[in-house]
Amino acid sequence: MAKIRLTILGSSAGMPQADRVNAGLALSVDKRLLLLDCGGGVSAAFRRYWFDPLAVERVIITHTHPDHISDLPLFVQMLYLAERREPFGIHLPSEALSYIQDYFQALYLLREKLPFEVEFLPIPKETDIRADGIIIHPIPNTHLHGYRSLIEEYRLPNKMQCYSLLISVDNKTMLYSADLGSEKDVLPYLKNLDLLVIESTHIGVGRLFQAVVENNVRRVVLTHLTETYDGEAALAAARKAGLDNVTLAADGMRIDI
Ligand SMILES: [Zn+2]
């Protein structure tokens, strides 16, 4: 059985906070290491919790809001300064691929200069991301759909791509919601999850907790927390639903699955 551990690098919602950094998760499977999202402060948090810049093999960016991507160039600079030579994969919503590649060139993270290959890869629509035994199934969600009228009015190229990630390793499954339009985006995917890491900003916890009970989810971590989030009320709602497996995320929290 693989040793699977998820570490919360950042648990803050969009507003930067004094004691939380923005969205980022480190997924360790035995000696393998993947990063999920790379918001503000995630590179420093990666070092704070003693992760190895040479060991991380890829990052998956769920959507391009700054609190999920803004530290990405700094993260790659860290890999460069750590004298990395192995390729590094960056999975992005396809709508952003060329913009982010141009941004890296503008920041002098030149593909012609870096001594390792940065592979810019679209998050696949029909298939999974596979890293040996780790299977990551991207689930499109409605988080960015509120931009539709603006995009249509100004004929912008944005495609409103945001993904939740359903991850399987051996016989374990976890879901990282990233940001959502509402809890409805992920309700069909909760069956028998070992772990649900779900954002707290855009959901109703009552409906969610009911679904957690119905789907036999083993553990729930509420993340993407604002400074004013009423965590006690959320935990009280969990207890009322008969759940004792719901916790609030904190930076540095480690969860073994
Ligand atoms: Zn966010």
Give the DSSP letter string of 89-142. EEEE-GGGHHHHHHHHHHTT--TTT-SS-EEEEEPPSSS-EEETTEEEEEEE-S
> pLDDT digit string (tens) for 64-111?
999 999 999 999 999 999 999 999 999 999 999 999 999 999 999 999
**Would you state the structure tokens that stand for residue 128, as one six-digit string?**
């999974």
CA distance 237 to 19: 25
| Percent of the chain whose predicted confidence (pLDDT) is above 90 | 97
pLDDT band at 4 (very low <50, low <70, confident <90, very high): very high
8 A C-beta contact, residue 224 and residue 197? no
- Evaluate whether 217 touches 193 at the Cβ level (below 8 Å): yes
- The CATH number assigned to the domain holding 130 equals 3.60.15.10
| Cα 83 to middle of ligand 1, angstroms | 31
At a CB cut-off of 8 Å and minimum separation 6, what does 106 contact? none
Positive or negative: CA dihedral 33, 93, 79, 131: positive
Dist. CA 9 → ligand 1 center (Å): 14
Note the pTM of the prediction, 2 decimals: 0.97
Report the separation in Å between the CA atom of 140 and the middle of ligand 1, taken as the mean of its atom positions. Answer: 15
| Residue ranges making up the domain that contains 241 | 4-256
Write out pLDDT tens, residues 147-186: 999 999 999 999 999 999 999 999 999 999 999 999 999 9
CA 179 to ligand 1 centroid distance, Å: 6
Q: Cα–Cα distance between 232 and 237 in angstroms, integer? A: 9
Instruction: Write the CB contacts of 219 (distance below 8 Å, at least 6 apart in sequence).
Output: 194, 195, 196, 245, 247, 255
Distance 115 CA to ligand 1 centre (A): 32
CA of 238 to the centre of ligand 1 (A): 23
Query: Residue 47 corresponds to which tokens in the numbers above?
Result: 């070092």
Rounded to the nearest angstrom, the distance between the alpha carbon of 14 and the centre of ligand 1 is: 5
What total of structural domains would you count in the chain?
A: 1
User: Residue 132's pLDDT is what?
Assistant: 82
20-24, 108-112, 126-130, 245-249: segment of lowest average pLDDT: 126-130
Q: How many angstroms separate the alpha carbon of residue 178 from the centre of ligand 1?
A: 7
Burial of 244 (0-12, 13-18, 19+ CB in 10 A): exposed
Task: Compute, in angstroms, the gap from residue 166 CA to the centroid of ligand 1.
Answer: 18
Q: How confident is the model at residue 24 (pLDDT cuts 50, 70, 90)?
A: very high
Residues of the chain above pLDDT 70, percent: 100
Distance 93 CA to ligand 1 centre (A): 15
99 C-alpha to center of ligand 1: Å? 20
What's the 68 CA to ligand 1 centre distance in angstroms? 6
Residues 63 and 60: their CA atoms lie apart, in Å, by 9
In the structure, ligand 1 is a single-atom ion and the residues with CB under 5 Å from it are 67, 179
Q: Average per-residue pLDDT in the chain?
A: 97
CB burial of 81-117 (b: ≥16 within 10 Å; e: otherwise) equals eeebeeebbbbbbebbbeebbeebeeeebeeeebeee
Banded pLDDT at 131 (limits 50, 70, 90): confident
What residues does 221 pair with on adjacent strands?
Answer: 197, 247
